[in-house]
Structure 1
Amino acid sequence: MTKFGVASILTDESIGPAALATALEDRSFDALFVGDHSHVPVKRETPFPFGGDLPREYHRELDAFGALCAAAMVTSTLTLGTGVALPAQRDVFYTAKQVATLDRLCGGRFVFGVGVGWLMEVLRDHGVDAATRGARLDEHLRALEALWTRDVAEFHGEFVDFGPVYAWPKPQQARVPIHVGGESVAAVKRAAALGDVWMPNAAWSVSDVHAQFELRDRHAPGIPITAFAAMADNRPVLDEYVRLGADQVVLYLPTLPEAEALAALDELAEVARQYR
C-alpha cells in the first residue's frame, strides 16, 4: 500500500515542528519531511526550479535537524526525514553526529533524504564547485556510512579524507535509510548504488509519472519510489502513483501559520484517507 507523508518548509513565521508533527500523527500520516537550506544570497542568478521568484519561506527556513528533533519529542510512530539535506555542503563529521543523534532521539524513525543542491550561489558560498557536487555527495555518503558503522572509521577520497577516528553516537538503526532526490539519470543510479529509495520531485502529468517509473526500471530496477512534495489537487497524478505502486507520496503543505496550516492539513488528510 502506498504511504502518505507531508513536506513543508518550516520557518519562524509558520506552524512549529512539534505542533505539525503531532497533527500529522493524529491524522494518520506516515512521515514528515522538512527542507535544508543554510542561507539565500541576496544577489542570485540561479532560477527557481519551479518558476517565478524564490518564495519568502526559503529565506527564513528552520534548521532541519533542530526542527526534526522537536518533532521527535512529541511523536512515536511518525517517520521523520530531510527533504532534502545537502551533504556536499556540510561538514561530514557534524552531519554524521546530527543524523545519529536524531535517529536515537526518535527511536530509529529517521530517513536521510539527500540531494546535490540547485542554488549555485550557495554552493559557491560553501566552497563547492558545482561541477563536483555529485562526486562530493557520493563520497560524503560513503564516508557517512563508515562513520555510522565502524568503531574506528577512516575514509580516503578526493573530497573527503580522514582517519582513523572515533565518531559516536552511532544511529539506532542498523542502516539509516537514504532517500536520494533528483530526477536525473545520475540521481537514479546514485539511489541504486548508495541509497535505498529514489525520491524524485513529484510529476506534473500522468505521462511524467510513467517516465519516472521507466527511468527507475531502466537504471535501478525494483528500488522504491517516493514522489516528493506532490500537489494534492493533481488527482490524476496521485491516482497513477498509487496504481503503479509508489512506495510513498509526500504531499506539499504550504508554509502557513498554525491555524491555517491545520486547516490545510485537514484537507490533505482527506485526500490521503481516500487512497487508504
Structure 2
Amino acid sequence: MKFGVFSMNSDEGLDPLELAREAEGLGLESLFVLDHSHVPVTRRTPFGAGNEKTVNISQRKDLSEGFEDAGGDMPRDFYRNREQFVTLAGVAAVTSTLRIGTGICVVTQRDPIWLAKQVATLDQLSRGRLVFGVGIGSPWNREELANHGTDYHTRMTLMAERMEAMQRIWTQERAEYHGRFVDFDPLYAWPKPVQQPRPPVLVGGDGPTVFDRVLAYGDGWMPGHHEDPGFFRERVAELQERAAAAGRGRMEITIFLAHLDSLDDYASAGVDRVVVNAPTGEERKYLKDIAKAMADH
C-alpha cells in the first residue's frame, strides 16, 4: 500500500510547506488537503449529521477559544483552513516526488471552466503529481453550497455535468458542453494536464449510489474509514466487479482518514492507498507514526 497524510491545512497548524518537505523526506507517497470556502454563521444541519436543526454560530462562544465537535458545531479547523489549490501549488514548488491531492475538492462549489484550468495548471507545474479527489458536498454543508449558488437537491446532476465538461476541456482543443446546469459554446482552454486523459480522479463518499459516480467519471474510490472490516472487502469487490463488467479495468482504492490499526484489514480488502489525518498541532508526531507503519508494512 501507498501511504499519505491528510492535513486540515489550518493557519494555526504546521506550515504546509514544512509538512510537505518532512512527509517527502520520510518517504510518504502523498499529501492531501481540505477544501471548504467558509462556514455559514447559521446552519440548519449539524456537522456530521443528516437531520436538520438550526445552529447559530454567532450565539456560541468566541471562536478564539476554539471549537470542538459538540452540539453540532464544526471543529475549529473548518473555520481556519487555507485555500486548497494555492496551498498545493506551494507544496508542489518545494517538493519533487510527493504526490499532491485534493481531499476532497467540492466540485459543486466551483466554476468548471476555472476549475479545469486550475487542475491542469497544477498538474503541469507539479509535473504530473496531482491526484484529484472530488466530492458532491455533504448534508451538513448545504448552506455553504447554497452560498455558491448550488441547490443541495440537484448537486449530483450538477457534479456529473461539471466533471464531464472538465473532461472535454482537458482533452479537446475546442471544447463544447450543453447541459442542464453547465452550458458553454466551443472554447479554447490551456494548459492541458500532463497526466492524460486527466489526473487520476478519486470519488469520495460511501453512500449507496457512489459507485455510479465512480464509474461515470472516476478512476478510483476514496471512502472514509469504516469500523466494520467486512465493509471494505464487500464493497471493494462489488466495485471491481462492476468496473470489469463495464470494461473499465481495475479501480484504485484509497481509504481517507485511515486508521493505522486497521492496515491489515485494508490490505486484505485490496486497498491501494491509505491517507491518515495529522491533527493540527500534532503533525510531526503523526508523520512519524505513519512512516513507522509504512516501514512495518
Which stretch of structure 1 is more off in the superposition, 165-174 or 59-68?
Answer: 165-174
How many Å separate the matches in 2 of 1:77 and 1:226?
A: 19
Q: 1:163 aligns with which of 185, 207, 215?
A: 185
C-alpha deviations, 1:160-201, integer Å up to 9, x for none? 000211111111111211110010232212111211011111
C-alpha deviations, 1:47-70, integer Å up to 9, x for none? 222864311000111111011011
How many Å separate the matches in 1 of 2:277 and 2:264?
A: 16
Matches within 5 A, 1:55-74: 55-74=75-94
Which secondary structure state, in structure 1, belongs to the residue aligned with residue 190 of structure 2?
Answer: coil
- 1:124, distance to aligned residue in structure 2 (A): 1.2
Q: 2:258 aligns with which of 217, 226, 230?
A: 230
How many Å separate the matches in 1 of 2:238 and 2:146?
A: 31
Answer yes or no: is 1:207 the counterpart of 2:206. Answer: no
How many Å separate the matches in 2 of 1:211 and 1:45?
A: 34
Answer yes or no: is 1:250 the counterpart of 2:275. Answer: yes
Matched with 2:74 is 54
C-alpha deviations, 1:236-260, integer Å up to 9, x for none? x32111122211111111122xxx4
Which secondary structure state, in structure 2, belongs to the residue aligned with residue 83 of structure 1?
Answer: strand
Name the aligned partner's letter for residue 197 of structure 1. G
Which secondary structure state, in structure 2, belongs to the residue aligned with residue 84 of structure 1?
Answer: strand
Matches within 5 A, 1:67-106: 67-106=87-126
Which secondary structure state, in structure 1, belongs to the residue aligned with residue 210 of structure 2?
Answer: helix
Which secondary structure state, in structure 2, belongs to the residue aligned with residue 94 of structure 1?
Answer: helix
The structure with the larger Rg is 2
Answer yes or no: is 1:122 the counterpart of 2:144. Answer: yes
- Which ranges in structure 2 are unaligned for 5 or more consecutive residues? 50-68, 245-249
Which secondary structure state, in structure 1, belongs to the residue aligned with residue 189 of structure 2?
Answer: coil
Name the aligned partner's letter for residue 229 of structure 1. L
Which stretch of structure 1 is more off in the superposition, 127-136 or 260-269?
Answer: 260-269
Matched with 1:190 is 213
Contact 1:254 1:261 (8 Å CA) reproduced: yes
- Which ranges in structure 1 are unaligned for 5 or more consecutive residues? none
Matched with 1:38 is 37
Name the aligned partner's letter for residue 104 of structure 2. V
Contact 2:3 2:290 (8 Å CA) reproduced: no
Name the aligned partner's letter for residue 70 of structure 1. G
How many Å separate the matches in 2 of 1:55 and 1:268?
A: 23
- 1:87, distance to aligned residue in structure 2 (A): 1.2
Answer yes or no: is 1:131 the counterpart of 2:153. Answer: yes
Matched with 1:6 is 5
- 1:106, distance to aligned residue in structure 2 (A): 0.5
Give the 3 Å change call, closer, same or farther, for CA 217–150 of structure 1 in structure 2: closer
How many Å separate the matches in 2 of 1:88 and 1:58?
A: 18
Name the aligned partner's letter for residue 253 of structure 1. A
How many Å separate the matches in 2 of 1:217 and 1:166?
A: 36
Which stretch of structure 1 is more off in the superposition, 147-156 or 205-214?
Answer: 205-214
Which secondary structure state, in structure 2, belongs to the residue aligned with residue 266 of structure 1?
Answer: helix
Name the aligned partner's letter for residue 201 of structure 1. G
How many Å separate the matches in 2 of 1:90 and 1:165?
A: 18
Structure 1 length-normalised TM? 0.92
Matches within 5 A, 1:12-31: 12-31=11-30
Name the aligned partner's letter for residue 228 of structure 2. S
Which secondary structure state, in structure 2, belongs to the residue aligned with residue 14 of structure 1?
Answer: coil
Which stretch of structure 1 is more off in the superposition, 94-103 or 199-208?
Answer: 199-208
How many Å separate the matches in 2 of 1:255 and 1:212?
A: 31
Contact 1:188 1:220 (8 Å CA) reproduced: no
How many Å separate the matches in 2 of 1:240 and 1:220?
A: 22
C-alpha deviations, 1:58-83, integer Å up to 9, x for none? 01111110110111011111111101
How many Å separate the matches in 2 of 1:140 and 1:200?
A: 21
